[in-house]
Amino acid sequence: MATKKKKILVKKKVRKKPARKSSSKKKATTSQRKKSTRKKPSRRSTRKQDRDTDTIAKITRLGESVVKSCLAQRDPHVDIPLRTASNTKYSKTKRMLEMGTNTQQRNLFNFGQARKFMQTLLLTSGCKDLIEADKTLSLRGMYYKTLHSIEGTNEKTFNDQSESDPILEDLEVTLGALREELHLFAKKAGTMVGNITIVDSGDEIDCRRMGSGGYAIPSIVEPEVLQFKDCEADFVLHVEKNTVWSRFNEDKFWKQHNCILTEGGGQPPRGVRRLLRRLHDELDLPVYCLLDCDPWGHYIYSVIKQGSINLAFESERMAVPDARYIGIRAEDYDRCGLSDDVKIDLSERDKTRAKQIMAYPWFKEKRHWQREIKRMLANGFKMEVESLITKDISYVTETYVPQRLKAKDFLD
């Protein structure tokens, strides 16, 4: 037995050299494999890091300019771009609103501006903390993060959130950094269902299987957060209100007509508008808007199509210049044979707003829009999409919209 064992040992000794060579190769291969399978940062992750670095740099430059003024014994100030109609222009080439170059100084040693100046710096610091911590906060959360009583006084940094929100918008245009880049988000207000699968923060979501509630569109829908995976849809139908959206969803309109169905709870929030823009640009989907026949429905269409005056600096990301208005029209009272019950008298405020919208440059030069608004004013009443229920519960989903789509009967 001992002799046998000795022979085996001798055998191993003889093969030791070649075995080591083979083992060496194996180790090298394993090492190479480990090296090649080491997780590399994704393109989305790198893009986010670059964006955060750029935003921090902008915040730092703003802080340095204030410090520089203090050290030079000058009145510290921040230049805030004006978010007003007078500082907004319509680009015929881009077919959207753009912000002008006019700014307003916000000074520390100005009794009427000192509070806002300090609030601006306080919120800037709060956003910097967020980015460095790689966390996000709601607008409400940022209000509480920066809320405290000033030492030695009964004065609070903010009386309520209505003070902090506009300053955050000022901060966006001042830094040239969008709310999402400041790691801030608003409450969810919008829903989607239809023939598309998305990936939200790594979770795959089939929007065909959303039940009666639908997918809640988040405030931040940038490519780093939300990606499109599979889409068979031919178009997007955006409706004004959740009540109308529910009718379309219950009747499975999106399934029968192969589309994506969205709603924004009235004037759509930024997340919904940004999503519409991405669906149009990245998936080449036409966007149709089913809105009320009133000045507010017309304005909502204007915001989706050209952007808003207040947020003109974001038009490049949000406006959908090719969006089309598919209803309700002033002529539908006669065309659809509706009853007097659906008429809602135009108030003086409605009439004033309608005339303002007619004067918008992007509506002023379009005869079909001039005719539409004039006819509504001549009627003396407005109508909601829900008014079509007087014809039949599913008239809007089974007759009205399908006929408009087939005939290409829309305003642009």
| pLDDT above 90 as % of the chain | 75
Q: Among 121-130, 174-183, 360-369, which range has the highest average pLDDT?
A: 121-130
Q: Which of 158, 185, 212 is the last residue of a domain?
A: 185
Residues 398 and 294 in one domain: yes
Residues 318 and 215 in one domain: yes
Residue 230 has phi, psi (to 5 degrees) of: -115, 130
Residues 168 and 218 in one domain: no
Residues 218-233: tens digit of each pLDDT: 988 989 889 999 999 9
- For residue 288, what are the domain limits? 191-407
Here the CATH number for the domain that contains residue 255 is 3.40.1360.10
Q: Which of 140, 169, 185 is the last residue of a domain?
A: 185
Specify if 105 maps to a domain.
no
Residues 384 and 249 in one domain: yes
Specify if 333 maps to a domain.
yes
Is a pLDDT exceeding 90 seen at residue 317? no
Question: Using 50, 70 and 90 to split pLDDT, how confident is the model at 41?
Answer: low
Residues 171 and 257 in one domain: no
Which candidate, 192, 180, 222, places its Cα nearest to that of 311?
Answer: 180
Q: Which two tokens stand for residue 140?
A: 């409400």
Q: Which of 149, 167, 185 is the last residue of a domain?
A: 185
Residue 17, pLDDT score: 42
Is a pLDDT exceeding 60 seen at residue 33? no
Specify if 1 maps to a domain.
no
Specify if 220 maps to a domain.
yes
Specify if 16 maps to a domain.
no
Residues 212 and 133 in one domain: no
Specify if 91 maps to a domain.
no
Report, as an integer, the average pLDDT of 242-271.
95
Residues 379-400: tens digit of each pLDDT: 999 999 999 999 999 999 999 9
Residues 327-378: tens digit of each pLDDT: 899 999 999 999 999 999 999 999 999 999 999 888 988 999 999 999 999 9
- Say how many domains are in the chain: 2
Residue 365, pLDDT score: 87
Residues 181 and 218 in one domain: no
Is a pLDDT exceeding 70 seen at residue 38? no
Residues 139-171: tens digit of each pLDDT: 999 999 999 998 888 899 999 999 999 999 999
Is a pLDDT exceeding 70 seen at residue 18? no
Specify if 258 maps to a domain.
yes
Residues 199 and 316 in one domain: yes
Residue 144 has phi, psi (to 5 degrees) of: -70, -35
Question: Using 50, 70 and 90 to split pLDDT, how confident is the model at 37?
Answer: very low
- Interatomic CA distance for residues 271 and 219, integer angstroms: 4
Specify which residues 156 forms β-bridges with: 149
Report, as an integer, the average pLDDT of 120-134.
96
Which candidate, 374, 389, 376, places its Cα nearest to that of 341?
Answer: 389
Here the CATH number for the domain that contains residue 160 is 1.10.10.10
3-state secondary structure the chain: CHHHHHHHHHHHHHCHHHHHHHHHHHHHHHHHHHHHCCCCCCHHHHHHHHHHHHHHHHHHHHHHHHHHHHHCCCCCEEEEECCCHHHEEEECCCCEEEECCCEEEEECCCCCCHHHHHHHHHHHHHHHHHHHHCCCEEHHHHHHHCCCECCCCCCECCCCHHHHHHHHHHHHHHHCCCHHHHCEECCCCCEEEECEEEEECCEEEECCCCCCCCEECCCCCCCCCEEEEEECCCEEEEECCHHHHHHHHHCCHHHHCCEEEEECCCCCCHHHHHHHHHHHHHHCCCEEEECCECHHHHHHHHHHHHCCCCCHHHHHHHCCCCCEEEECCCCHHHHCCCCHHHCEECCHHHHHHHHHHHHCHHHHCCHHHHHHHHHHHHHCEEECHHHHHHCCCCHHHHHHHHHHHHHCCCEC
Residue 42, pLDDT score: 64
Residues 144 and 285 in one domain: no
Residues 269-296: tens digit of each pLDDT: 999 999 999 999 999 999 999 999 999 9
Which residues are catalytically annotated? 144
Residues 210 and 136 in one domain: no
Residue 260, pLDDT score: 98
Sheet holding 191-194, edge to edge: 215-216, 191-194, 259-263, 235-239, 287-290, 324-327
